[in-house]
Structure 1
């Protein structure tokens, strides 16, 4: 079975999704995870689809989730399929409703729902891991900024007034710290101004090809962190391919769907050339080998899986493997960042205090010269 995805239709749907997200509440990933899990449980227990949606609607306490369920229920009442109903709500991605369509047409809806639940569960777990790792560093940096602002606006000026009364020449480091303190508000204004300009630029150009190419290339070059980002998207790629191929989606159609939902430039730009070469008769494993974004070990495993016609199983194993790798590396980041941040804070506070107390060592000479 081959499913054709019209480019104009996809672009129109993505435009509608963007417009909807700007003016309405969004259907978050955690709500989608819950939706797919509960729907699977109800259908597995023998409840029909319309009744299952009605039950989920009655149980829902979240406004955005309830809104989506109401729309799905109304559409199903009119005789539409679940795939058509999901598409009409503008709350689901093409990846989701095309997967549901495959499940409906191949009588494997339960399997597709389970895979979609696992997909969003994994995605949410990754978000939580990254949030957990970054929460402490961000909190500490905010405290550091507050301490620095206090010292520059209150402590340093107090020392500067004392030294002005006694006169005498101050050490260069002390002069520099005092100069920064005197112009601290200006530097602060410049800092927030730069942040504002960067935020505006990102908001304006984040969806452009040039911006995504530059940013993704820059991130990949960041030691350790760049590898983690790439691994996260490889996990999503493998998990998506596992879901689609296990639902008996043709390889080309699966790749086309993945291209629409990955939103990671280094992988996204490889999909069309890969599809073209596979259509021309090249093997999938030999084709992806040409692109550095795919790990060599991954390519080797895919070549073997392709020979034994077990691509869906291998992609599932690869997604689990990459997910474990991301989890391990994010924990390492947390372990490494804590001492680095503490050291950074100590250096900042230490330099300021040393600069302020250096004149104290020859204070008696300054007093004698002043008298």
Structure 2
């Protein structure tokens, strides 16, 4: 679907402006007419392309929670979606509209939700399939919404923690760029004609500035091209995201690995609590995993679970699975409370991932400040040594 800005005239003579999603402008026009609005202007929004609408964790959590609440009150699913169309943001409203139309056409909720893209949307689809399997749709959606909310809060917390170090690093690059483009070029004429009398360290600083001025535009163009490719191509985003995730999952105590397996165990706990058998619950819980190598490793365990192999033994065969999660699952199998054990393991892994990132950033931020301050001070000292050498040459 595409995004359109529209201006329409209401029955009361007032102008209505807004953003809406539709396959074509004609579809939006007909929809406005059905709402008793006279379209005056419909134009495509900038920087968009045809494709699936994506849900964030917060939007998916709100959609699942609201649907569960309305269904619990006795409202039919199509009626609940119709109500949400008028309450949600334009993107979520468009998704709710398409889902409702598919439901009316006879599709189940899990199939109808395929109009939305992204990992949170895939989790909603898995929740819907779990609800259809267990017959407890509202309970599954409510539990899944809580899981999505916890994931969203953790992501926002980690993003907030990364803002200050990112700002410091940008300031560091800005300081180096200012020295390379403004300070050093203005001092180079003072060293002309000195030949080999310039101190070696000062010459090194001048050479460093020349290299930075040569490479920075090239790096800037490469970064801009990469940003454009990531913005316009979902294939590039998928490949880049998988590569970055695989790099971040290296190491025995990778926060990224803890974060991914925390989400997996949380989803699996939701399915088991809803009464979905272990093997189907595993398939539904692993579907939203987008890291290609890990997704293949998880999918390879489907048949073993169908054969009755215990979950703890299956997790041992998954490369990179945190030993703590295996321990929680093993204790849950022995106590008969595997869903609670999965929830506890998920909370433990998520907490450890956040703690590891906080610890890393608490060391990285002052380290970057010290390195940048040292570089600026060293460059300044070397430049002044060259200026003193110029002064001595003039005095002689």
Alignment TM class, shorter chain as reference: 0.7 to 0.9
SS state at 2:85 partner: helix
Query: 1:308 deviation in Å?
Result: 3.8
1:166–1:367 Cα contact (<8 Å) kept: no
- Map 1:142-157 → 2, pairs under 5 A: 142-157=170-185
Structure with more contact order per residue of length (Cα contacts < 8 Å, sep ≥ 6) = 1
**Cα distance change, pair 24–263 in 1 and its aligned pair in 2 (3 A):** closer
Superposition deviation, residue 305 in structure 1: 1.8
Query: Given the two structures, how large is their TM-score scaled by the length of structure 2?
Result: 0.76
Matches within 5 A, 1:157-306: 157-164=185-192, 169-195=197-223, 207=238, 216-221=245-250, 227-265=254-292, 267-306=294-333
Aligned partner of 2:169 among 130, 141, 156: 141
Q: Name the count of aligned residue pairs.
A: 345
Deviation digits for residues 83-122 of structure 1 (CA, Å, limit 9, x no counterpart): 3432356677444224213324433222211122122212
1:102 pairs with one of 110, 127, 130? 130
* SS of equivalent residue, structure 2 residue 198: coil
Query: Superposed, which structure 2 residues align to 1:305-320 within 5 Å?
Result: 305-320=332-347
CA contact (8 A) 1:233 1:264 kept: no
Taking the aligned partners of 1:93 and 1:25, their CA distance within structure 2 comes to 10
SS in 2 for 1:59: coil
Note the C-alpha offset of 1:266.
5.3
Give the deviation of 1:272 after TM superposition: 3.5
User: Are the counterparts in 2 of residues 216 and 266 from structure 1 also a CA contact under 8 Å?
Assistant: no
Aligned position for 1:352 = 379
* CA distance in structure 2 between the partners assigned to 1:367 and 1:34 by the alignment: 74
Is 1:327 the counterpart of 2:343? The answer is no
In 2: Cα distance, 1:166 partner to 1:75 partner = 79
Instruction: State the alpha-carbon separation in 1 of the partners of residues 166 and 117 from structure 2.
Output: 35
| Mapped partners of 1:84, 1:214: distance in 2 | 30
User: What displacement does 1:194 show?
Assistant: 4.8
Structure 2 unaligned regions, length at least 5: 1-47
Deviation, 1:32, is 1.2
Contact 1:76 1:85 in 2 (8 A): yes
Structure with greater strand share of residues: 2
**Residues of 2 paired with 1:27 and 1:220: CA distance?**
25
After superposition, the Cα gap between the structure-2 partners of 1:53 and 1:199, relative to the gap in structure 1 and judged at 3 Å, is: closer
Q: Choose which of 49, 68, 75 in structure 1 pairs with 2:77.
A: 49
* Alpha-carbon separation, structure 1, partners of 2:353 and 2:99: 35
Cα distance, 1:27–1:184 mapped onto 2, change above 3 Å: same
After superposition, the C-alpha distances for 1:211-244 in whole angstroms (9 at most, x for unaligned) are: 88865553333686xx111111011111111112
Question: In structure 2, what is the Cα distance between the partners aligned to 1:45 and 1:64?
Answer: 25
Superposed counterparts of 1:124-135, under 5 Å = 124-135=152-163
Cα distance, 1:201 vs. partner?
Answer: 9.0
Counterparts in 2 of 1:49 and 1:232: CA distance versus 1, 3 Å: same
Cα offsets for 1:302-344 (capped at 9, x unmatched): 1232234322221111112222222322322332222112112
- The whole-number CA distance in structure 2 between the counterparts of 1:54 and 1:118 is 23
Q: Deviations over 1:54-94 (max 9, x none)?
A: 2211222x211111121223334445443343235667744
Indicate the RMSD between aligned Cα atoms, in angstroms.
3.1
How far off its partner does 1:166 sit? 6.1
Cα offset, 1:200, TM superposition: 8.6
TM-score (norm. length: structure 1): 0.80
* Worse-superposed segment, 240-249 or 22-31: 22-31
Counterpart of 1:12 in structure 2 is: none
